[in-house]
Amino acid sequence: MNRPLPRPLLDVALDGPIATLTMTRPGKRNAMCDELLAEIEAFFARPPEGIRVAILTGSEGHFCSGLDLSEHVMRDAESTMRHSRNWHRVMDLIQFSGLPVVSALFGAVIGGGLELAASTHVRIAEPSALFQLPEGRRGIFVGGGATVRVGRILGADRMCEMMLTGRSYSAEDGHRLGLAHYLVGEGEALARARQLALQIAENAGLSNFMMIQAISRIDDMSRQDGLFTESLCAAVSQTSRDAEEGLRAFLEKRPPRFR
């Protein structure tokens, strides 16, 4: 007897240079499980040819409610550390694959969902978006990179208070604090994400790659190391074929046609 194949938890729709990735776990508020994380990893490890920007979003009114605690498996310290490090690896892959990622946020952006959103480069929130790191109120600690990514956005002091109290931030508060870059009306996040993705896709691929790879790393460096790294990026980008095309397009008063 043939068994039906399991339904993918990540719907991938390709449209020109844009790939839209939609997490689909009905009734689970798109809570993260190992299978969903693996499907996200598989896309960013080998993006389809011709894709220049990815949009990441959820379904049924929610982005992602974090780790699926109903599927929680008791692990020893070593297994827990390895599980956490796997999350770090996948979040790094999203942030540093070289593909710009725009996230459309609504409903739950909680725990691991906020860690996932923080690994994207452009974040758009609808009024229903709710940002929270509830791990501290559940006797556990974040393990998907929040102390680095969310902590960089909020600052260590505010993130510590957020975890100690379990407080949640509304979409408006999240926008004010930098958890979201754009605040749009209800039902408008995906359209705005596509508009921005198309705009980003028009950039030179090398410039996008360097912005993704260099800026956050420069933030980790000393002032002088950061300035030197900036000079290296400028030297490579400004002597590329894309730079020649950009200058030629400017002089000819036309949009550039990058590779």
Q: Which residue has the higher pLDDT, 1 or 231?
A: 231
Those residues with Cβ within 8 angstroms of residue 106's Cβ, 6 or more apart along the chain or in another chain = 58, 61, 62, 63, 125, 126, 128, 129, 186, 189
What stretches of 106-145 show up as alpha helix (H) in DSSP? 112-118
Least confident of 130-144, 152-166, 186-200, 244-258: 244-258
CA atoms within 13 A on the CB side of 218: 16
pLDDT given for residue 187 in this prediction: 97
Task: Return the pLDDT at 55.
Answer: 98
pLDDT for res 166: 95
Calculate mean pLDDT across residues 78-103.
Answer: 96
Mean pLDDT of 91-115: 97
Tokens of 127: 């009024």
Pairing of strands 130-132, 168-170: antiparallel
Torsion of the alpha carbons at 234, 236, 238 and 240, rounded to the nearest 10: -160
Residue 229 DSSP SS3: helix
- Note whether 60 and 26 are within 8 A (CB): yes
* CA–CA dist 190, 111 (Å, integer): 22
Q: Which of 73-82, 94-103, 250-259 has the highest mean pLDDT?
A: 94-103
Three-class SS state of 132: strand
The DSSP annotation for 159-220 comes to HHHHHHH--EEEHHHHHHHTS-SEE--TT-HHHHHHHHHHHHHTS-HHHHHHHHHHHHHHHH
Say what the pLDDT of residue 3 is: 59
Quote the pLDDT of residue 26. 86
Residue 102's pLDDT band, with cuts at 50, 70 and 90, is very high
Lowest mean pLDDT among 5-9, 186-190, 223-227, 239-243: 5-9
pLDDT in tens, 29-43: 999 999 999 999 999
**pLDDT attached to residue 4:** 55
Structure tokens at 43: 């896309």
Q: Which residues are catalytic?
A: 115, 135
- What are the distances in angstroms from CA 227 to CA 128, 224, 230, 232? 40, 5, 5, 9
Whether 6 has a pLDDT exceeding 70, the answer reads no
pTM for the model stands at 0.93
Query: How many angstroms from the chain centroid is the CA of residue 223?
Result: 26
- pLDDT for the residue 186: 98
Domains in the chain, CATH or no CATH each: 10-201 (3.90.226.10), 205-251 (1.10.12.10)
| 222: three-class secondary structure by DSSP | coil
If you average pLDDT over residues 125-144, what whole number do you get?
Answer: 95
Q: Tokens 């490090």 label which residue?
A: 85
Q: pLDDT-derived band of residue 5, with 50, 70 and 90 as boundaries?
A: low
172: region left, alpha or beta (phi > 0 left; psi from -120 to 50 alpha): alpha
Asked if pLDDT for residue 247 goes beyond 90, the answer is no
Q: Given its phi and psi angles, is residue 155 left (phi above 0), alpha (psi -120 to 50 degrees) or beta? A: left
Residue 70 confidence (pLDDT): 73
Q: Is it the case that residue 256 has pLDDT exceeding 90?
A: no
Whole-number percent of the chain with pLDDT over 90: 83
Per-residue confidence (pLDDT) for residue 69, from 0 to 100: 76
Rounded alpha-carbon distances, angstroms, from residue 7 to 19, 37, 209, 226: 19, 14, 33, 45
For the record, the structure tokens of 136 come out as 């501290």
